[in-house]
Amino acid sequence: MHLKYESFVREPLVDGNKDYHQVTEDIIGPIERKPGRMWYVGFIFSILLLGFGIFSVAWEVYWGIGVWGINRTIGWGWDITNFVWWIGIGHAGTLISAILLLFRQGWRTGVNRAAEAMTIFAVMCAGQFPIFHMGRVWDGFYVLPYPNSRGPLWPNFNSALLWDVFAISTYFTVSLLFWYSGLIPDFATIRDRAKTKTRKFFYGFTSFGWTGTAKNWQRMEMLALVLAGLSTPLVLSVHTIVSFDFATSVIPGWHTTIFPPYFVAGAIFSGFAMVQTLLVLTRKILHLEDYITLGHIEAMNKVIVLTGSIVGCAYLTELFMSWYSANPYEAGAFKWRILGPYWWSYWAMMTCNVVSPQLFWFKKLRRNVPFTFIMSIVVNIGMWFERFVIIVTSLYRDYIPGSWSYYSPTWPEVGFYLGTFGLFFTCYFLFAKYFPVIAVAEIKFILKTSGDGYKNKMKTIEEKSQEEFAHEQAEHH
Amino acid sequence: MAIKKFAVACYDDEAVLFPAVKSVRHSGYKLHDVYTPFAVHGLDTAMGHKESDLHVAGFIFGLCGTSTAVGFISWILTSDWPINFGGKPHFSLPAWIPITFELTVLFAAVGMVLTFCYLNQIMPGVKKHVFHPRQSDDWFVMAVELNDHVNEAEVVNFLKSTGAVETSVQVAEDSWWYGRFDKTEPYQQLA
């Protein structure tokens, strides 16, 4: 008898009357079947996008950064906008897997695997932009501190740009380790039921010979807990350091102390939106509605409305500070943001990020799947505009009116951005086909406390009086 | 690292597994291990395992990361190639906090995962004996070592009486690590 049970106030995390074997079947099954037509169409489309991206980047590397629309006034354009956008998206996965683990949020088990995968792919996409923005990308290894024949001349450890190199590479590595260590037992599950030779070999290799002894699991839980403890400040530090790229400079509109919390909230906001976009589709295509329930979607929408409101407060605080600081350049930067030639980007940001998420205060809308899907895309468009607003509209009205400028992207910049979508979705399609998209072992772990079928069995216990129950237990032992 | 004979019992419910583990330990048979498809809380204590010390490895590796970062950066910026940034001190610790923090986390995480793999003896390419394919699906599999001091049929019957849904006797390598397999004594010499 399991005496660890959850109150009925909490809705079940796994719908349907499942047992352990059914969980394995539901999640591992799609890996063993041939993918549907939608998968092939999506995968080929992603590969084509990726190909176009590679072509655009090759064009830029061959001809130089001059083929992009950026100029002497607006030195950071779509490239850094896209970098910050992707790295922000890459925050939800580790937040779900680390912070929600520390907060003992059971619902993370349904979504953490896919969200972490998304994080890793998003960070991969983000990393491309600063690398190719270097221009002479073949000298990119200069950022690494290694004894070299140039002095040795070291990188500047006091520079926010170098902090970024360390932050993002550490974040990528730690997220990958966290994700993969959780995958090992699930790979072992696939290995043990594999029928074909290739599958046996592939999953035998990736499962590292995991057998799941009591000691193995004990260490696994310890590893997950400590990695979660390490990743929690890490995930907050990464976007903090990205915001330092701006905040440590002396550009009006950038030089503010509000940037770190404002960026972190925005990152979580856009990350959860991307998780919604992917999971709404994934649960539909792979028939995982029992594991990614409306409760999961609602929980994530609650995070979206919270972080969206924090971002909204940050926008208003920025406006207040530009007036309160009595700095004419600061005031000017915000005036040109709101009313200048780029007014449309500011208002697109405000509408998508501040106004529209407020609709999630309504429970009906939070639990509405098509609405959630549309909102997730709206939020991601808004967050893209936020980065565009911060970067381009802080730069285009320079101190000297003679150097005021306007900027539009050229096709290699747009192609580069589309190419990262190609990279992201190519990876995600491969992940959805060959990897368990839901953490099988973790679902089994919560099944008897939060599974629909098991919760109902507890009804009889909950109806008993306390005295009766205690008496029964005393007899039992 | 030896080839041994095991009596294997499979259970389909944790509620049956726990009393079974308890009675096997009481009976004096040598409990080899219990294989479960997910982390069963309390099983490690029921089997008499101590709490894992993996976090200590994480702490030590983290300290290595901190000292690497602080040592390396301060050596570079104060002695190897000091640069004057607007008259600020060469030893500017606050500016090094981000990289120090990142390296601490990086070293701790990488070191701890490697320690985890080493302790569990898992690595890409390692193959271990799987007592029952359902041990990673929905069954809880217990292996009891059979040696000269116990009667095989007796142990199997005992395991059946604890509520096992399936029992078997298997000859297997008890653990595996790179390159050690062929150095072990064959089973026949033990018997």
Q: How would you write A353-405 as a 3-class SS string?
A: HHHHHHHHHCHHHHCCHHHHHHHHHHHHHHHHHHHHHHHHHHHCCCCCHHHCC
Residue A59 within any structural domain of the chain: yes
The backbone region for A153, taken as left when phi is positive above 0, alpha when psi lies in -120 to 50, beta otherwise, is: beta
Query: Contact at 8 Å (CB) between B30 and B147?
Result: yes
In a domain, A282, yes or no: yes
Residue A113 is encoded by which pair of tokens?
């695997």
- Interface test with chain B among A179, A218, A249, A444, by most B beta carbons within 10 Å: A218
Which of A167, A209, A217 is nearest residue B36 as measured by Cβ atoms?
A217
Domains parsed from chain B with CATH numbers: 3-50+128-190 (3.30.70), 54-120 (no CATH)
Q: Is B178 on the interface with A (CB under 8 A)?
A: no
Nearest Cα to Cα of residue A446 among A60, A104, A25: A104
Token pair 């939020």 is found at A379
Residue A39: how many other CB atoms lie within 10 Å: 16
CA distance A173 to chain B (A): 8
Contact map slice: B 93-132 vs A, CB within 8 A: 95-96, 98-99, 101-103, 105-106, 108-110, 112-113, 116-117, 119-130
The DSSP bridge partners found for residue B33 are B143
- How many structural domains is chain A composed of? 1
Confidence of residue B175 (pLDDT cuts 50, 70, 90): low
Q: Which residues contact B102 (CB under 8 A, 6 or more apart)?
A: A163, A166, A167, A170, A234, A237, B69
Q: B153 in contact with A at a CB cutoff of 8 Å?
A: no
CB A278 within 8 A of CB A432: no
Buried b (16+ CB within 10 A) or exposed e, B155-181: bbebbeebbbeebbeeebbbbbeeeee
The residue with tokens 């098991």 is A454
Interchain proximity B81–A152, CB inside 8 Å = yes
CB A11 within 8 A of CB A293: yes
**Does the reported pTM lie above 0.95?**
no
B99 close to A163: Cβ distance less than 8 angstroms? yes
Strand-pair partners of B171: B5
Please state, as a whole number, how many other Cβ atoms lie within 10 Å of the Cβ of residue A155: 16
Judge residue B93's burial from the number of C-beta atoms within 10 Å of its C-beta, 0-12 exposed, 13-18 middle, 19 or more buried: exposed
A residues 415-454 closer than 8 Å to B (CB): 440-442, 444-445, 448
| Interval B36-51: pLDDT, tens | 999 888 888 888 888 8
Q: Do B123 and A209 touch (CB under 8 A)?
A: yes
Q: Which chain B residue is nearest to residue A189, measuring alpha carbons?
A: B136
pLDDT in 10s for each residue of chain A, 477 residues? 455 666 677 788 888 888 888 889 888 988 888 888 888 999 999 999 999 999 999 999 999 999 999 988 998 989 999 999 999 999 888 888 888 888 888 888 888 899 999 999 999 999 999 999 998 999 888 888 888 888 788 888 988 999 999 999 999 999 999 999 999 999 999 998 888 889 988 998 899 889 889 989 999 999 999 999 999 999 999 999 999 999 998 888 899 899 999 999 999 999 999 999 999 998 888 888 889 999 899 999 999 999 999 999 999 999 999 999 999 989 988 999 999 899 999 999 999 999 999 999 999 999 999 999 999 999 999 999 999 999 999 899 888 889 998 999 999 999 999 999 999 999 999 999 999 999 999 888 888 878 877 777 777 777 778 888 777 777 665
Residue A449 domain-assigned (yes or no): yes
Instruction: Identify the helix (H) or strand (E) that includes residue B94.
Output: helix B93-120
The CATH code of the domain that includes A451 is 1.20.1630.10
Percent of residues, chain B, with pLDDT higher than 90: 31
Residue B179 has pLDDT above 50, yes or no: no
| A225 contact residues in B (CB cutoff 8 A) | 55
**A167, A206, A441 ranked by CB distance to B37: nearest:** A441
What are the Cα distances from residue B68, in Å, to A161, A194, A243? 20, 45, 25
How far, in Å, CA of A43 to CA of A56, rounded? 20
In a domain, A269, yes or no: yes
Which residues of chain A have a CB within 8 Å of the CB of B124? 205-206, 208
Sheet with strand B30-35: strands edge to edge: B30-35, B140-146, B3-11, B166-173
**Rounded Cα–Cα distance for residues B41 and A79 (Å):** 48
Ramachandran assignment for B173, one of left (phi > 0), alpha (psi -120 to 50 degrees), beta (any other): beta
The Cα–Cα gap between A145 and A157 comes to: 9
Distance from CA of A464 to the nearest CA of B (A): 22
Residue B40: how many other CB atoms lie within 10 Å: 20
B15 and A2 within 8 Å at the Cβ level: the answer is yes
Identify the pLDDT of residue A163: 94
Q: Does B85 touch chain A (CB under 8 A)?
A: yes
Q: What angle do CA A391, A393, A397 make, to 5 degrees?
A: 120
What separation in angstroms does the CA of A311 have from each of A158, A258, A347, B58?
29, 11, 14, 35
- Reported ipTM: 0.90
Choose the closest CB to B39 out of A19, A166, A221: A221
pLDDT at B72: 93
Q: Classify residue B151 by burial, with Cβ atoms within 10 Å: 0-12, 13-18, 19+.
A: exposed
Domain-located, residue A476? no
- Tokens standing for B81? 């190639």
Say if CB B175 and CB B121 are below 8 A apart. Answer: yes
Asked whether residue A88 is domain-assigned, the answer is: yes
A226 touches chain B (CB under 8 A): yes
**Are the Cβ atoms of B130 and A192 closer than 8 angstroms?**
yes
Closest partner residue to B34 among A214, A219, A221, by Cβ?
A214
A-B Cβ pairs (cutoff 8 Å, strict): 191
CB contact under 8 A, A219 and B52: yes
Strands B140-146 and B3-11: antiparallel
Q: Residue B5: beta bridge partners? A: B146, B171
Residue B68, pLDDT > 90, answer: yes
Q: What is the mean pLDDT of residues B12-33?
A: 88
CB atoms within 10 A of CB A391: 26
In this structure, is residue A56 part of a structural domain?
yes
CB < 8 Å to A215, chain B: 33, 44, 49, 52, 120
Binned at pLDDT 50, 70 and 90, residue B4 comes out as confident
Which residue segment(s) compose the domain that A132 sits in? 20-145+152-456
Helix (H) or strand (E) run with residue A443 in it:
helix A440-450
- Give the best residue of A217, A245, A448, A477 to mutate against chain B (max B CB count within 10 A): A217
Per-residue pLDDT band at B116 (split at 50, 70, 90): very high
pLDDT band at B187 (very low <50, low <70, confident <90, very high): very low
Res. B180: pLDDT tops 60: no
Residues B74 and B99: their CA atoms lie apart, in Å, by 12
Residue A475 lies in a domain: no
Q: How far apart are CA A128 and CA A416, in angstroms?
A: 9
